[in-house]
Structure 1
Amino acid sequence: MADQCMQGWILATLSVLFATCCLLIKKKERGTKKDLLESRSKSVNCTATANEECISGIFSDADVIIVGAGVAGAALAHTLGKMATGNILQSLKKSCHAVIEIEDGRRVRVIERDLTEPDRIVGELLQPGGYLNLIELGLEDCVEKIDAQKVFGYALFKDGKHTRLSYPLEKFHSDVAGRSFHNGRFIQRMREKAVSLPNVQLEQGTVTSLLEEKGTVRGVQYKTKRWARADGICSSDNCL
């Protein structure tokens, strides 16, 4: 009889211990799931509110950041935005800190300190070779609707005499020529062309410094002290 009581007590004790262990395990699992959900939620929030500051002050919603949306910056943004896998941008590499290999569909963030139309006398003549480069980059329509005038050569005047020097364009299509235009209108057209791609984002902001990690540039800092990170950083603003 005593043995049966002892066995019953042992079984009851084991049952209680087993139930307690099960409750502790379930509680731990719930805590782990909660932490995981909170972690995912924070990650989603930082991604979903990329235009705002995350708690750390660092956000990233782009694979490439371009500082400056002038002729070089806008052309680079458009080219990277539509570049196919495996292509390497060679023609614009002088504008970058490094040659960047970009896959199709990569996200490009362009940061320009002033998005209003520039109004200055500079770069008013595009040579025929420059127009051929626009064709190669798919940007030839940027000289349309800006009152651009075709240029076919030069006229030289001296001591009452004059002569004409024509561009050697015989082997090219009739549309290939130089272009004279208002530089600000041309830049605005190139910016519009760049942001016509769904994965190119243009924003107004001032970049003051670069974020470096172990000798590698990983991001940029805004004047507002925010940081933006990306795998590729290109400076075309003549400041950094």
Structure 2
Amino acid sequence: MYRERASRLPGAVVWTNTLTGDTNSGRVLPDGCMDLLWHEDRLLVAGPDTRAHLTGGGPSTWAGLRFGPGTAPALLGVPAHELRDQRVDLTDLWGAAEVRRLTARVRAAADPVTGIEELALRLAADTAGPDPALRVLVAALDAGRPVGATADELGIGARQLHRRSLVAFGYGPKTLARILRLRRALALARAGTPPAETAARTGYADQAHLSREVRALAGLPLRELLRGGGG
């Protein structure tokens, strides 16, 4: 069972997920974000996904903090594109002694979610915030604005925007736009909006276009994805 709440870190969400071992309970869809994870007494980092990530193995429990899009790279000290489609141990990014100290703090907290949240808040207190232009980009793309028009409004050239997006999100703005559009479409579909209407309201050419994007990014047909509840 998946549960989440807004974090005290602005723009972030803390969550727990108890997996049953079936395929969809561990299907994580792309969302333009990175996560700090706690699993089996270890701290890990989930890089930005370009396709559905399947958490293998049997029943297990995960906890995590999902940073807002573009926020994690500055806090973790690593460009997002270096972790694209990966789950890595925090010791791969930071020194082992530091990670042992942080792991002990999470372990000593009232619960893993609280421990991870406190860790993220301490990191944020010592780090500059994300690029303000990229925050505007995320908001514009999430509202369905075209990439080119948004870049023009920001006064950023296409190549520079792509480079900055790779560092912040792990991929270029067009891929980010696809992922955010899919999230909007799935929200409508899960609320009961028919597929054809969902496609029209979220900017797809037609229902077939929506179906292709769902398969490409989520790895399942829309109907099966909605039935299984991957998120």
Report the structure, 1 or 2, having the larger helix content: 2
Q: Shorter-chain-normalised TM-score: which range?
A: under 0.3
Q: Which one has more relative contact order, counting CA pairs under 8 Å at least 6 apart?
A: 1
TM-score w.r.t. structure 1 length?
A: 0.20
Report the structure, 1 or 2, having the larger strand content: 1
TM-score w.r.t. structure 2 length?
A: 0.21
Q: Is the radius of gyration larger for structure 1 or structure 2? A: 1
